[in-house]
Amino acid sequence: GRWRNGKELNARRLAERGWRLVDASKQTIKCDSCGFYLNTALPDVASVDLIVYNRCLREVHESVDTCHEKTCTAKSRRPNFFTHLNEKSELSDELRSRLETMKEMKMPEGIEITEDGIETKDLLEIFPDESIDITMKKLAITGWEKHDYSSVRCCLCLRTLSLTCSFTPSSSHHSWCPFLDPHDPLDIPQWRVAYDTVVHKKTSLSDSLSIVRRSLNSSLITSTNC
Ligand SMILES: [Zn+2]
Ligand SMILES: [Zn+2]
């Protein structure tokens, strides 16, 4: 089922507070830390007064923070999605297990995956198996894994992309996706930091600036998936 309130409630904020969708039809979420349930159902915006609707929305927003057991740790936690960023071997394992899900997939004819700044020789160093489609390797690096035979999904923001038109994988995440979180001090996105770590790149300041400039340019002409 589809979670109808996904637009009104920021999925990342819910995840940071420990919530997970358990029943899409009833719009129910559950805190994994304390086990409390929360119903996020909102009235149909077209059939109630906007004031009523906004009050309901505000109540749900507040409950995301407060509707936990008194001692629940999820209430104040700020999770780190990238605790292992300096562990090269763990990172490699993670990238390889993402690629493993896609190893049977083939890019349809005419579909192009463009990702500036990822070099073929680096991809071969991380993923030596030459029988796997190189575009799948680019997708794995930028956070994507198999969803079904013709689409991929981000393991953190859960956006799905169908492989029916060309796109730039790193600019196709939801804007709040943790993979795009800037990493100090050079504002490099987290997926890129992982890539640099695995290929032992000593990123110089000028390289990084040109990467940032390139990704700025490509985000201005962001590809929209059809
Ligand atoms: Zn809780
Ligand atoms: Zn994402």
Q: Which DSSP helix (H) or strand (E) runs through 90? A: helix 88-102
Binned at pLDDT 50, 70 and 90, residue 100 comes out as very high
| pLDDT at residue number 14 | 85
How many whole angstroms from 116 Cα to the centroid of ligand 1?
41
- Convert the pLDDT of each residue in 117-151 to its tens digit: 899 999 999 999 999 999 999 999 999 999 998 99
Ligand number nearest to the C-alpha of 16: 1
Binned at pLDDT 50, 70 and 90, residue 201 comes out as low
Ligand number nearest to the C-alpha of 32: 1
How many whole angstroms from 124 Cα to the centroid of ligand 1?
43
CA distances 34 to 11, 68, 70, Å, are 19, 6, 9
Residues 6+ apart with CB under 8 A from 122: 195, 199
| pLDDT at residue number 96 | 92
**Rounded to an integer, what distance in angstroms lies between the CA atom of residue 30 and that of residue 34?**
9
Find the helix packing angle between 88-102 and 190-198, rounded to 10°.
110
**Rounded to an integer, what distance in angstroms lies between the CA atom of residue 120 and that of residue 122?**
5
Tell me which residue has tokens 């936690």: 77
- Convert the pLDDT of each residue in 150-183 to its tens digit: 999 988 888 899 999 999 999 999 888 889 988 7
How many whole angstroms from 182 Cα to the centroid of ligand 1?
28
How many whole angstroms from 30 Cα to the centroid of ligand 1?
8
Residues 6+ apart with CB under 8 A from 84: 90, 91, 94
Neighbours of ion ligand 2 (CB under 5 A): 154, 156-157, 173, 177, 179
How many whole angstroms from 223 Cα to the centroid of ligand 2?
15
Q: What is the mean pLDDT of the chain?
A: 83
Q: Which two tokens stand for residue 72?
A: 């629940």
Lowest mean pLDDT among 6-10, 50-54, 169-173: 6-10
Partners of 31 in the beta sheet? 19
Lowest mean pLDDT among 53-67, 103-117, 160-174, 175-189: 175-189
- Convert the pLDDT of each residue in 35-44 to its tens digit: 999 998 888 8
How many whole angstroms from 159 Cα to the centroid of ligand 2?
6
Binned at pLDDT 50, 70 and 90, residue 1 comes out as very low
How many whole angstroms from 167 Cα to the centroid of ligand 1?
38
| pLDDT at residue number 13 | 81
| Torsion angles phi and psi, residue 151, rounded to 5 | -150, 155
Asked if ipTM goes beyond 0.85, one says no
Ligand number nearest to the C-alpha of 75: 1
